[in-house]
Amino acid sequence: DPDVAVTVRKLVVISLLELFKDITPSYKIRPLTEAEKSTKICKETQKLREFEEGLVSQYKFYLENLEQMVKDWKQRKLKKSNVVSLKAYKGLAEVAVRSLCELLVALPHFNFHNNIIVLIVPLMNDVSKSVSEMCCEAVKKLFKQDKLGQASLGVIKVISGFVKGRNYEVRPEMLKTFLCLRIKEIEVKKDAEDINKPKKFMTFKEKRKTLSRMQRKWKKAEEKLERELLEAEASESTEKKLKVHTETLNIVFVTYFRILKKAQRSPLLPAVLEGLAKFAHLINVEFFDDLLVVLHNLIESGDLSYQESLHCVQTAFHILSGQGDVLNIDPMKFYTHLYKTLFKLHAGATNEGVEILLQCLDVMLTKRRKQVSQQRALAFIKRLCTLALHVLPNSSIGILATNRILMHTFPKTDLLLDNESQGSGVFLPELDEPEYCNAQNTALWELHALRRHYHPTVQSFAAHLIAGAPSEGSQALKPELSRRSAAELFQTYSMDAMTFNPPVQSSSSKKKSEVLQGDLFLNEDLNQLIKRHCGEVTTHLPLDFAKYLKTSLR
């Protein structure tokens, strides 16, 4: 019976998977050398060696079987017995892929892990969506839990080679897995001596001065134990981890730069821009100029979606806020682009791009406050207030929270709360240059409209900003609003779950003591007339139109 045959094989595959996960040791088993084989050993060691050799050979046999199941499905080949159908092969292959994914995550330290990587990576780009998602999720999980970085480096090498070999025609999900890499340790580059300072033990003279004879004896035993522990410690050094992470990041950036250079209209571009935005602070200073030029050209080309252009802006400012501080680069064109395209933000239920926009504004205006002029800050505050009228409540809250931070960062922007003009010129809202639109000659009238918003939190923020964003007093915000960032507030008040935050209070309806019937509304005489007419039986008489026609002719 084909169904029974397939079910039994699936159960065997899963049972063996659980068995190998349980009995596999936490170290890699290496093959014995000739010298080791010839030396005499005790029975226990011989027994352990036999177990390890048997485990490795059976594990290898198991992996080969899983690989064959996947290959049989991929090549659409039926076995000679022709017992198992193609549909059954697919189900069997999916179980085999799931088992390989489990082993990839559970046993990154054990033998044949690189072989599993080589099998899994091409399946990340498989036609079957379920198989592709399964493999991508396994790789993400591996990246998140990999503390040493060795397993991640192996996967990154294979993915980079695969993407290049396919001429960048792969699923974007493959590159999105890079975002799960744990490479924050490279941020602070220190000397190995500073990172791994050896433990300093007391000298004999210091002990004699400060400790009694019994204390010296205890101290000696304690230090001996600490030395043994330090020698026996098998954890990887920070220097080695740093080296592995650097190599991993180099491969990631090479993949990103190749796509930016050769495949600018590829569907992989959003994933590349998102990755660059995340790891931009770790890019080598030598690439900054070229990368900024490429990003600006991409924005100016007009081929990008709004969200992709936001990722470009975000990447550019992450570069400039890190090591790029030392470079003399004016990012005015990126400020102008963002100011110009603010009203293109999606105002519908998807709220696409709002979170990225809030992050961009934070890194562009708040974190670079010393490089931002007052005119630019005024223009952005005015345009953001106008934008807050058009979008959903959670977006409005995030935007108003950003404006609150900007008003604290640039105290002189409170002139927008005054209706008197400052200096010469007229405010030009349609001008796309924030420096020259004369924003000092306008006022934030939008806040008065937002104060009558249907969402109570938007009302609170609008009233707070009208009062000058005070930190104390009756118009100050509650701590749960003032202590959160704009992005956090955007997420908190999101309506993705189709719920209103805060919940709408149910109105208590007053029950009427008497319910009036329809008859009581009518006049008594009118009521009798209606009843009489309703009770009459209507008689249908034949209509003789000719009689009336003759009368009129006479």
Question: Using one digit for the tens of pLDDT, what is the confidence trace for 448-472?
Answer: 999 999 999 999 999 999 999 998 8
Question: Is pLDDT at 549 greater than 80 in this prediction?
Answer: no
How many CA atoms within 13 Å lie on the side-chain side of 471? 4
Question: Using one digit for the tens of pLDDT, what is the confidence trace for 74-109?
Answer: 776 555 545 556 677 788 889 999 999 999 999 999
Question: Using one digit for the tens of pLDDT, what is the confidence trace for 220-274?
Answer: 888 778 777 765 554 446 777 888 888 999 899 999 988 888 777 788 888 898 8
Average pLDDT, the chain: 83
pTM over 0.75: no
> Which two structure tokens, joined as six digits, stand for 515?
């319910």
DSSP string, 199-265: PPPPPHHHHHHH--HHHHHHHHHHHHHHHHHHHH--PPPHHHHHHHHHHHHHHHHHHHHHHHHH-TT
Burial zone of 183 (CB within 10 Å; 0-12 exposed, 13-18 middle, 19+ buried): buried
Q: How far apart are CA 467 and CA 126, in angstroms?
A: 58
pLDDT score, position 40: 82
DSSP string, 358-396: HHHHIIIIITTGGG--HHHHHHHHHHHHHHHTTS-HHHH
Cβ contacts of 181 within 8 Å, gap of 6 or more: 143, 152, 156, 248, 252
pLDDT score, position 347: 78
> What average pLDDT does this structure show over 41-68?
90
Question: Is pLDDT at 536 greater than 60 in this prediction?
Answer: yes
Q: In terms of C-beta distances under 8 Å and separation of at least 24 residues, what long-range contacts does 482-488 make, across chains too?
A: 484/401, 485/362, 485/401, 486/358, 486/361, 486/362, 486/398, 486/399, 486/401, 486/402, 486/405, 487/355, 487/358, 487/359, 487/362, 487/398
Q: Cα Rg for the chain, rounded, in angstroms? A: 37
Q: How far apart are CA 373 and CA 413, in angstroms?
A: 11
Cα–Cα separations (whole angstroms), residue 194 to 3, 147, 202: 63, 21, 20
Cβ contacts of 196 within 8 Å, gap of 6 or more: 237, 238, 239
Question: Using one digit for the tens of pLDDT, what is the confidence trace for 348-363?
Answer: 777 778 998 999 999 9
Question: Using one digit for the tens of pLDDT, what is the confidence trace for 484-514?
Answer: 999 999 999 988 777 787 887 765 555 555 5
What DSSP designation does 550 have? H
Percent of the chain with pLDDT over 90: 37
Q: Number of helices (H) and strands (E), helices first, in the chain? A: 25, 0
Question: Is pLDDT at 479 greater than 70 in this prediction?
Answer: yes
pLDDT score, position 281: 76
Between these two residues, 221 and 56, which has the higher pLDDT value?
Answer: 56
What DSSP designation does 481 have? H
